[in-house]
Chain A
Amino acid sequence: MNNVMTIIKKELSRFFGDRRLVFTTVLMPGLMIYLMYSLLGQRMVQEMSTAEDYVTKAYVVNLPKEIREGTAESPVEWKDWDGNPDDVDRVFHELEEGEIDLVVCFPENFMTDAAAYEIGSGAAPQVEIYYNSAKSNSYTSYDSLRDYLDRFEESMVNKYDVNVGEETGSLGTYDQAPKNGAVGKMLAGLLPMLIMTFIFSGVQGVAPESIAGEKERGTMATLLVTPVKRGALAFGKVISLSIIALMSGISSFLGTILSMPKMMGDQVDFDMSAYGYSNYALLFFVIISTVLVLVSVISIISAMANSVKEATTMMAPFMIIVMITSLLPMIGVKFGGAFASLIPLFNSVKVMGGIFEFKTDVTAAFMTIGVNLAVTCLLVGVLTKMFSSEKVMFSK
C-alpha cells in the first residue's frame, strides 16, 4: 500500500508540477466550455429578443382591414402599394437590399372570396409573400406572417378550439408534467453525453503520457527494476490518473452547469438545486466508478502502445464506442432491465440520465457502481499482467 501511495504522489507531483498541463487539462476545459456556452447562449437570447422587438417593414397590396387590425400588436409597418408595374423594380430592389422585409400581395376582395370559398371548388384565393431568405429579418418576418395567416385562416372556419389561452411551454392547466420535468428530460439527454465526453477527454489527455510516454522515454523500465509489485504500480497509476481525469471532468461539468442559465436565458425557470444532495451524491459515485473504468481501459491501450502518438491513435476506436454509448439515450434507445446495469459505460449513461430526469433508480445506480468497480478490478488485473509482460513492456 505504501508503494501505491508513493506512485500516486509521484504521478500527482508530475501533473501539478507542470502548470501548463494543469491549465490545459483542468482549468481550460471548464473555462472554455463556460465562455463558449455563455457566449452562444447570450447570442441566442439576443437573437430571440431582437426578433421579438423587430418592426417588420412590408409593402402590401390590397391589405384587408381585418388583417391590418389583427397585426396591429405584432409590430408590422405596412406600406400600402397599389401594385403599379412602374414601381416593381424599385420595390423588389429594396427587398433585395434589405431596406424592406416583405412584399405582400392580397387579391382584390380577398376577405369576401376567402369566406365564400369551399374546399374542392377550384383554386383558392392566393396570397403572395415575397421575401429574401438571405436577410435574417426578412426570413423571420416571412415566418411570422405566414404563421399569422395560417392562424387567421383557421379562425375563419372556426369549428372548434384546442387549449384556448395556453402559452407554449407553460405548465399548469393543460401540461400535467411535474415541475422541472421538461427541463429534466432535456438535461437527461444532454448531460450524460457531455459528462462522458468531458471525462474521456480528461483521461485521454493524461493516461497515454503517463504509461505509453514512460515506456517511450525508458522511465517505465527504471520503475520495473525496483521491487515494487506490478499490481501496486498498475493500481497507483489508475488511481492517480482517475484523480486527474475526475478534476478535468468536474471542471468541464462546472463550466456546463454555470453556463446553463445563460444558455437557457429567461425562457426556462430551472434551478439545479432541484436535484437535491442525495442525487448529486449518487451522481458523484457513478461518475467516479465510470472514471475508473475509462482510465483502466485507456491505461491498457496505452500500455500496448510504444509511444504516446501510437496510444492516441489506438484510442480512436474506443472513443467511438464511448461516444456512441453516450448518444444512445439521447437518440431514444431504450435498453432497460437489470441486464443494462451489467454493461459498463452504458449503465453509467443510463443511471445518469435517470438522475437528471428525476427518475433515480437507486438499485440500478448501486448495481452500476458495483459492476464498474468489479470491471475496474478486472482491468487493473489485466494491466498488472501487462506490466509483468516483457513482450508488452519492452517490445519495439
Chain B
Amino acid sequence: MEELLQVNGLRKTFQLTAKQQKLEKTKEKVKVAVDGLSFTAYKGEVFGLLGPNGAGKTTTLRMLATLIKPDAGDAILDGASIVSQPEQVRSKIGFLTSELKLEDFFTPNYQFDFFSRLYGVDPDTIEKRKKVLFERFGIDRFAEVKVGNLSTGMKQKVSLVISLVHDPDVVIFDEPTNGLDVLTAKVVTDFLLDLKSQGKTIIVSTHIFSLIEKICDRVGIVIAGKMVTCDTLENICAGKPLEDRFFEIYEEKVGKIDE
C-alpha cells in the first residue's frame, strides 16, 4: 500500500498560565500535549485516532493541518513537510474542526466561491462542484441564506462542504459528528464512506467507538499524548467490541479508571 502520510515523533508542549495551572491543578508550567507521536496512513484508507478528551488528538490534527507547529518531529503528507512546506500541505488537505467557523454574514454560496478562489479552483469547476456538494447535503435550498441564520446542523454541513471545495486527496476531520443530531451525523458518516470509496485518505479523531467501527480501517489509540497502539481495527479488537478493547488497553497503560 502507498504511504500518504508519515508522522514521525511529533511533540507539542504548551506554556500554562497561572490560571491554567490552577484549573489543571498542577504546578508544572509546561503541558506536554503530544509526546513523540508517530503513525502512518495509507492512500485510500480511513485512519482513526481514538482517545479520551485531552489525549492530544486535536493537537495532532492541528499540527497536521499546519495551524500550529510541532516543537519536535515532522510529518510528510504526500511528499510535503508540515514544518517546512506548510502551504503545500494546506493545499492538499481538507480540514474540518469545530474550531473553524464561517462568517455569519455571508451565504453558503458566497463562502463556497470565496474559499474555492483561495484554493485556486477554476470558475467552471467551482460551479460544478458546488452543485454536486450542495445537492448532496441539501444546502442548495439555503444557498442564499446567511450562515448566521442557518440551523447548527446546516452550518456544520456548510463547513464540511467548504473544507472540500478543492477536492483534496487527504481529508482530516476532528470529531466530525460531535454535537450533531442523529440525522446530520448519519449524513456525515455516509459521506465519509463515500469519500473512502472515491479513494480519498481520511484521518478522523473521535472518542465515539461506533464511528470508528463503522468507517475506520486502522486505528491509533492515543493516551496522554502518546500513541499506545496502532494497528488495523481487526487486530486491535481481536474479536472483541472496540469499546471493551479500548478500556483494557487504557487500564493496562494508565491504571484502573476508578483510580
Contact = CB atoms under 8 A, between A and B. Distances in A.
Interface of A: 2-3, 6, 10, 13-14, 17-18, 217-219, 221-229, 390, 394
Contacts of B101: 217-219, 221-222
7 closest A-B pairs by CB: A218-B101, A227-B91, A227-B90, A390-B68, A222-B100, A226-B118, A6-B117
Interface string B82-119: 00000110110001000111111110001000110111
B69 interface: yes
B86 to A, nearest CB: 9
A217 B101 CA distance: 7
A394 B100 contact: no
A2 B101 CA distance: 23
B90 A225 contact: yes
B164 to A, nearest CB: 12
B119 A226 contact: yes
Contacts of B162: 222
A53 to B, nearest CB: 57
Contacts of B100: 218, 221-222, 225
B248 to A, nearest CB: 35
21 contacts: A6-B117, A6-B118, A13-B106, A14-B103, A14-B106, A218-B99, A218-B101, A219-B101, A221-B100, A222-B101, A222-B115, A222-B162, A225-B66, A225-B67, A225-B95, A227-B87, A227-B90, A227-B120, A228-B118, A229-B87, A390-B67
Contacts of B119: 226-227
A209 to B, nearest CB: 11
B99 A221 contact: yes
A394 to B, nearest CB: 7
Given A224-B67, A394-B67, A219 B118 contact: no
Interface of B: 65-69, 87-88, 90-91, 95, 99-106, 110, 114-115, 117-120, 162
A219 B68 CA distance: 16
A390 B33 CA distance: 15
B250 to A, nearest CB: 29
A226 B102 CA distance: 13
B235 to A, nearest CB: 33
B105 A14 contact: yes
A227 to B, nearest CB: 4
B58 to A, nearest CB: 12
A3 B105 contact: no
Given A390-B67, A390-B69, A226 B105 contact: no
Central interface residue in B65, B69, B105, B162, by most chain A CB within 10 Å: B105
B103 A217 contact: yes
Contact of A219 (B87, B90, B91, B103): B103
B16 to A, nearest CB: 12
Given A2-B117, A18-B105, A227-B118, A221 B67 contact: yes
Nearest to A222: B100
B69 A10 contact: no
A224 B236 CA distance: 36
Given A225-B90, A227-B87, 17 more contacts: A2-B117, A2-B120, A6-B117, A10-B114, A17-B105, A218-B100, A219-B102, A222-B102, A225-B65, A226-B90, A226-B115, A226-B118, A227-B88, A227-B120, A229-B87, A390-B68, A394-B67
B117 to A, nearest CB: 5
B110 A13 contact: yes
A253 B49 CA distance: 59
A217 B155 CA distance: 14
Contacts of B110: 13
Contacts of A222: 100-102, 115, 162
Nearest to A17: B105
A28 B86 CA distance: 44
A10 B105 CA distance: 11
A386 B117 CA distance: 24
